[in-house]
Every structure is written in structure tokens, then in C-alpha cells.
Amino acid sequence: MSEETYLKVAILWHMHQPFYFDPRRKQFLLPWVRLHGLKDYLDMPLAAAEHPGINVTFNLVPSLLDQIEMYCQGYTDRHQELSGIPAMRLSPSQKKEILATFFAGHPLTMIDPYPRFRQLFRKKESSGNDTNLAIELFSTAEWRDLQMWSNLVWIDPRFRKEKIIAGYFDKGRDFTEEDKLNLLAFQIDLLKRIIPTYQQLYREGKIDISFTPYYHPILPLLADTEAAKEALPAIELPTEPFQHPEDARWQIHNAAEKFRNLFGSDLKGMWPSEGSVSEAVFGLIRQEGIKWAATDEEILYNSQIKSGFGSRHGTPHATYEFSGAPGLKIFFRDKGLSDKIGFVYSTWEAGRAVSDFISALHNIADFLKGSLADKVVTVILDGENAWEYYPDDGSSFLYKLYSALAADEKIKTVTLSQATEIGPAETLKNIMAGSWINHNFRIWIGHGEDNAAWNLLAAARKTLVDFQKNHPDADTGMLERAWRQIYIAEGSDWCWWYGDEHVGANNAQFDELFRLHLTVLYEILGLTPPAILLRPISKMKVESLLTLPEALLTPQLDGMLTHYYEWSGAGHYDCMKGGGAMHRVDTVISDIFFAFDYERFYIRLDFASKFDLLGVKGGRVIVEFKTAGRKELALEKGIVKEGDGFKYFMDRILEVSFDRAALVPKGFGKLEFTIQHYLGTELLEKWPIDDFIAIDVPERDREIFWQV
């Protein structure tokens, strides 16, 4: 087959989790390495290897592999520990902790499909916020079943028929303590298979493997925090500049060493953490002998502007080199295709999603016709977090995707190492510093909390450097342990959860872990940690996303804020702060307001300023009530529209009015709803991502609003 007749497609699955190990407790604070190890890290390479002709790249983070190895050596996490306690011996505080943490996962795919797990979840929900009541509702058998199911649902469908646990999903309930011990032992057995499987498949040439810098740092900011000003000239930076390219070099070099130790060859490629690059970073990567690196297509366009083109130029579907790092091939991810797998296709039927993906590739091939020989489409995305939103953990989608790619005569999959042979490469004179998210670094620096973290990191690092100068004979092992705390604290995940951009159930734990690593550094050196490390950096709580109504109100349905106080006292959900572990950049709905009067319940949607309401055709919003079903709203400007028991109007904002009696019995009671935004049949966003907005609509004349 001629190179001119097919389109080359390079898919990279990025596998990463933060470094959750608590250096004091000698335990993982959060369980996500173990749970994703059961669900994603082993089945993904096996699925790719089962399809002849499919070539994909798996990008692994060295600190993730360290954690998998530590589990295999006997280290545990808190969820695992609570799971192993005999149900009849659970204390009240342990039961409360279990109820707060054991229903993690996307409810529609990881709770609802399993009758017993769904029953236990609803029983817990029936007690509302009364945890003392909740723990009294469960029998010993139910606690044991909850311990089982919170672990069972994370086992990938591929492994559910294996001998040790075969039958547990059919059994469903009334598990024994022996069942539980078998399951927990089986989990460790699965984790022990992960690294050997990657090693074997890599040796056999069935998959390619790249690495990210060791502890997943934002390399340009390690090299120089001033890099943030390239994309955001007015950004407020930490008071203490952080300029340590030697730390960036350590993170790259030690990742390459980890690769050599595990795979017996030199590291060929690197996905810099969060696709974060700069001119200095590409130079450091090339100095390590690495042959390729990848980032986002927006970095390409901004680099071309920086190089003097004045506007977007060329195509991301090609191989590039930066003149400042000759010999390093650079690939730019196709944002649209990558994000469709990560954020869109989970709600589609698998066959339709695959057809859409293949059709998009055909369109690209047609557009590039006549120049296919030196072109490659690069698809890069998270290889773990997306799948819990898919039915059957994405198994059907992946199988059909690989089968379709292998069978299509117009497409050939290649690894990114193979893609380095595609050329000639186009040259970029300049690189604009940025990441895959909004082509800047605002997620990790600029907010007061982010800057506070950078200042603490800079101070701790300076303390360590000064200590070394003043103690030339200090024990090298002690110093290595101290430096390790710095390198861990340089990871991107801490500042991911600082600031306004992301709020989750574990913000406090991430804050605690970051400050703990710096605290332990001082303790290793025999120094008293600064008191500031005892104070939380993060001021954000999950509950702050949601404000409940403080007054009765009756807005006017005219699609605009009629007067300043029209929605004053309404409940509010902040979508812009509601992102989770996966970040998406195309949020349209910015705010959800909700309120009620004696007869009606109201919802108001505000939109991101970039959203062109007049330019939307086929746009629609679905308000899904947990008990009253789905109410569909067409996005049409300037028309009063009505449905069964509701009416709405959209202009600058969307305002909806519902009959209370149509939503809740007798017009009062618990009301739970989500907002879903579609373009045609394509789900673009859902708020909240994993849950419902819940509000108790009181009986008439019994309204009590607590205000501070």
C-alpha cells in the first residue's frame, strides 16, 4: 500500500495518578491507583494487543508505576484498609467514613447497573445528611455487601470471570468475610500483572511506551515561572520566582532512567505533563536523547503566530521540529478527535461513536489528499478517567474502534515512535509556552492559592540548598530523601486542585499531602517546619459550588436580568468551578440559578461570554429531574416556548418556569435535577458531572431561610 493512499493515525493513551503516598502514615491517602489499576491499566494494553495491525502508544508516569510497585510490596490505602475490617467489628466512625467514601464512581455506570449496590446507595441517601441515622440503617450483612461492591465495580469486565472471583457478580449479596478476603487478594494479583504485561507487550512490539517526567511536573514552570507570562502577560506570579531548570532536568532524566530499568532500552518519547512545553523544555528533553515529544494543537497555532505568521498556519496533522532542539520530532494532538473520545462518546451507542470517529478521519484524509505521505493525525487523551462514564467501562467502544481502524483501507495506525520516520518535518522557529488546557498555565499558577503553594515550595527548596552548603558532610541518604520530597511537591496535581478551576471531594487531602511533603522535608533535616505549613492553603469546599435559595422569588421570564435584584436570593451552582479530574475547555453553561415561589419552580442558565446564542442550530437543554423525568428546551432566541407543565424564554440568559405540582407530590418535597446541554444528539456537557442538584422545596407557609 502506497504511503499516499492512507492516513496515518497515532493514538496515545496517557496513564497518570497523583502521588498519593502519605510519608508519615506509610499509607496511600486515596485509593485511585489501586482502583484504576483494577479497571484500566491492565485491560487497555491487552485490548490493543489483541487487534493485529493496531499500533498504539501508552504513556506512563514513573511515579504511577512506583505506586503500583508499592502496592505489590504490601503498602495499602485507607479504602482498602476499611474494606478489610470484618463488618461486625466496624466502629461508628469507620461506618461514617465508609458511607462518605464507598460510593465513589459515576452513578449511572458504576452504581445503577448493580441492583444490590443501587439499593445500598438509596438506603444511604434516604437518611439525608443525618449520618447517625444512616449508620443505624445498615445491618452487618449490608455493611459487608457495601465493602464488597465498592471494590467489585472497579474490576474491569475482562477479569470478572477469573476463578477466584467468578460468580460474585451473579451472587450479588450476602457475601462472606472469606469472599471479601478473596476479592482483596485478587486485586493485588491483578496489580502484580500490570508492569510485566507492559514489559512483555513492549518487547514483542505489540505496543509502544512513552513516559512523562517523573512526578508529573509542569516543566516550563520549574524551569522558570516567568514562562507563564508568554500566554498571560498580566498574570500575577508568586512573590518568590522559581527558576530551576536543573529540577526539570532531574524529572526528565530520572524518568528516562526508570524506563531503562524497566524496559531495557532508551526512552524514545515523552508526553510532557499536561502537554506543557516551552522552548527551554524542548531543549532539555532533547538533551536526554529523547526523539519525540507531543503537545496540543493550540500550542502549534500560537507558536506560528510567535514565529511571525500572524495567524493560524499549516496543519497539526504533520511532523514538526523546533529549530532550538534539532532532532526532536514534535507532534500536536488533534483537539477535536481527542476530546470526542474523552468527553462526548460516552453517551453514544458504541457503533455510532466509532462511525463518527472514522468518518472524521476520512474527512481529514480527503482534505489532505495528495500530501498524505508526510502527514499523521495525533490523538492523545487520558487513558483512564473517561471509561467510567462509558457503559461496560468502554469495552464495546474500544473493541469496535480498534476493529474499525484495523479493517479500514484508508487508515493505518502507527505509534508515535514510528511516526518519527514520517517526514520531512516542518520547522518551527519559536515555541509559545503553554499546556493543552487553554494553551496557558493558569490552572497551576496565578491564583492566590497556587502562588502560595509555589512560595512554600521555593522556601523549602532554598532551605534544603542552604542546609547542604552549611553541612557539607551531611548523610547523602538523608539528603536524597529530602530532595525526593521537593521533587514530589513539584508535581502538577497539587496546584490542579488549588484555585477556582477544579473542586472535588478530596481537595482537603491534596492540600494536606502537599504541605505534608514539605513538612517532612524540614523534619528529615532536623529542622522545625514553619508554622505556615500547618495552615491549609485551600479555602474551597465542595459545598461552596452550591448555594441554596435564601428567599421566595418570582422572576420575569424575558431571557434577561430584568433588574439587579430579580434573582437575588436564588440558589446557585457554579459550573466553571465544577470540573473534576478531567478538565474540558469548551464549557458553555457557566452558572445555574434556581428558586421557587408558592406555585412554581424556576431555573436560570447563564452562558460563557464566548458562547454565541444566535449561532447555535440544533442546540437544546434537557433538565432531568430524578423523579419527574426529562424536560427538553430548544435553544431558540426571543420566543416564549411551552412544554408539559413548563415554559421558558431565552435571550441573554435562559429562564424556565415549572409547575411545582408537576415536579414533586403535593407541590413540595425533595427535588433533584441535572442540566444537560446537547447539540443535536451529542451531549456537550452535564452539570453537575456526577450527581444531582438537590433542594428541599418546603410546604407553603413553612418556608424558613437561614441566612448568615
Residue 661 and residue 631 in one domain: yes
Q: Are 109 and 391 in contact (CB under 8 A)?
A: yes
Helix (H, G, I), strand (E, B) or coil at 680: coil
Residue 4 and residue 123 in one domain: no
In Å, how far from its chain's centre is CA 82? Answer: 25
- Of 189-198, 594-603, 698-707, the one with minimum mean pLDDT is 698-707
Q: What pLDDT was estimated at residue 708?
A: 31
Last residue of a domain, one of 507, 524, 540: 540
Q: What pLDDT was estimated at residue 547?
A: 81
**Mean pLDDT over all residues of the chain?**
91
Residue 98 and residue 118 in one domain: yes
Residue 563 and residue 615 in one domain: yes
Residue 433 and residue 564 in one domain: no
Q: What pLDDT was estimated at residue 586?
A: 61
Alpha-carbon span 654 to 57, nearest angstrom: 44
Q: Flag whether 102 is in a domain.
A: yes
The three cell numbers locating residue 350: 458504541
Q: What is the pLDDT of residues 594-615, one digit of tens each?
A: 999 888 999 999 887 555 544 4
Q: What pLDDT was estimated at residue 612?
A: 52
Sorting pLDDT into bands at 50, 70 and 90, what band is 702?
low
Residue 427 and residue 455 in one domain: no
Strands of the sheet containing 571-574, edge to edge, are 546-547, 571-574, 589-596, 600-607, 654-659, 646-650, 641-643
Residue 184 and residue 47 in one domain: yes
Range of the domain at 501: 448-540
Q: Which residue has the cell 500483572?
A: 193
Q: Which residue has the cell 447539540?
A: 679
Q: What is the pLDDT of residues 513-533, one digit of tens each?
A: 999 999 999 999 999 999 999
Alpha-carbon span 262 to 68, nearest angstrom: 13
Per-residue pLDDT, averaged over 53-69, amounts to 97
Sorting pLDDT into bands at 50, 70 and 90, what band is 542?
very low
Q: Flag whether 667 is in a domain.
A: yes
- Of 212-216, 307-311, 357-361, 507-511, the one with minimum mean pLDDT is 307-311
Alpha-carbon span 109 to 304, nearest angstrom: 42
Residue 534 and residue 555 in one domain: no
Q: What pLDDT was estimated at residue 482?
A: 98
- Statement: residue 541 has pLDDT above 80: no
Q: Flag whether 267 is in a domain.
A: yes
Between 536 and 684, residue with greater pLDDT: 536
Q: What pLDDT was estimated at residue 62?
A: 98
Residue 526 and residue 563 in one domain: no
Reference 610, options 592, 585, 632; nearest CA is 585
Residue 589 and residue 517 in one domain: no
Helix (H, G, I), strand (E, B) or coil at 440: coil
Q: What pLDDT was estimated at residue 513?
A: 96
Q: Residue 262 maps to which CATH number?
A: 3.20.110.10
Residue 25 and residue 141 in one domain: yes
Alpha-carbon span 349 to 196, nearest angstrom: 34
Q: Flag whether 707 is in a domain.
A: no
Counting beta carbons within 10 angstroms of the beta carbon of residue 233, is it exposed (0 to 12), middle (13 to 18) or buried (19 or more)?
exposed
Q: Are 22 and 512 in contact (CB under 8 A)?
A: no
User: Is beta strand 411-413 parallel, antiparallel or unpaired with respect to 589-596?
Assistant: unpaired
Q: Residue 676 maps to which CATH number?
A: 2.60.40
Q: Flag whether 625 is in a domain.
A: yes
Q: Give the global pTM.
A: 0.82
Q: Are 245 and 251 in contact (CB under 8 A)?
A: no
Sorting pLDDT into bands at 50, 70 and 90, what band is 544?
low
- Statement: residue 61 has pLDDT above 80: yes
Q: Flag whether 122 is in a domain.
A: yes
Alpha-carbon span 446 to 525, nearest angstrom: 30
Last residue of a domain, one of 203, 220, 255: 203
Q: Residue 481 maps to which CATH number?
A: 1.20.1430
Strands (E), 218-370: 269-270, 292-296, 320-322, 329-333
- Statement: residue 193 has pLDDT above 90: yes
Q: What is the CA radius of gyration of the chain?
A: 26
Q: Which residue has the cell 418570582?
A: 554
Q: Flag whether 494 is in a domain.
A: yes
Q: Flag whether 593 is in a domain.
A: yes
Q: What is the pLDDT of residues 88-128, one digit of tens each?
A: 999 999 999 999 999 988 888 999 999 999 999 999 988 87
Residue 432 and residue 317 in one domain: yes
Q: What pLDDT was estimated at residue 705?
A: 42
Per-residue pLDDT, averaged over 309-338, amounts to 90
Sorting pLDDT into bands at 50, 70 and 90, what band is 585?
low
Counting beta carbons within 10 angstroms of the beta carbon of residue 182, is it exposed (0 to 12), middle (13 to 18) or buried (19 or more)?
middle
- Of 113-122, 387-396, 694-703, the one with minimum mean pLDDT is 694-703
Number of domain units in the chain: 4
C-alpha dist (Å) from residue 100 to 77, 94, 150, 371, 506: 16, 10, 12, 56, 11
- Statement: residue 706 has pLDDT above 70: no
- Of 38-42, 250-254, 344-348, the one with minimum mean pLDDT is 344-348
Helix (H, G, I), strand (E, B) or coil at 292: strand
- Statement: residue 248 has pLDDT above 50: yes
Between 226 and 590, residue with greater pLDDT: 226
Q: What pLDDT was estimated at residue 54?
A: 97
Q: What is the pLDDT of residues 10-48, one digit of tens each?
A: 999 999 999 999 999 999 999 999 999 999 999 999 999
Q: What is the pLDDT of residues 260-277, one digit of tens each?
A: 999 999 999 999 999 999
Sorting pLDDT into bands at 50, 70 and 90, what band is 582?
low
Q: Are 297 and 332 in contact (CB under 8 A)?
A: yes
Q: Are 206 and 48 in contact (CB under 8 A)?
A: yes
- Statement: residue 543 has pLDDT above 70: no
Q: What pLDDT was estimated at residue 550?
A: 76
Strands (E), 219-359: 269-270, 292-296, 320-322, 329-333
Last residue of a domain, one of 395, 412, 441: 441
Sorting pLDDT into bands at 50, 70 and 90, what band is 639?
confident
- Of 13-27, 459-473, 551-565, 640-654, the one with minimum mean pLDDT is 551-565
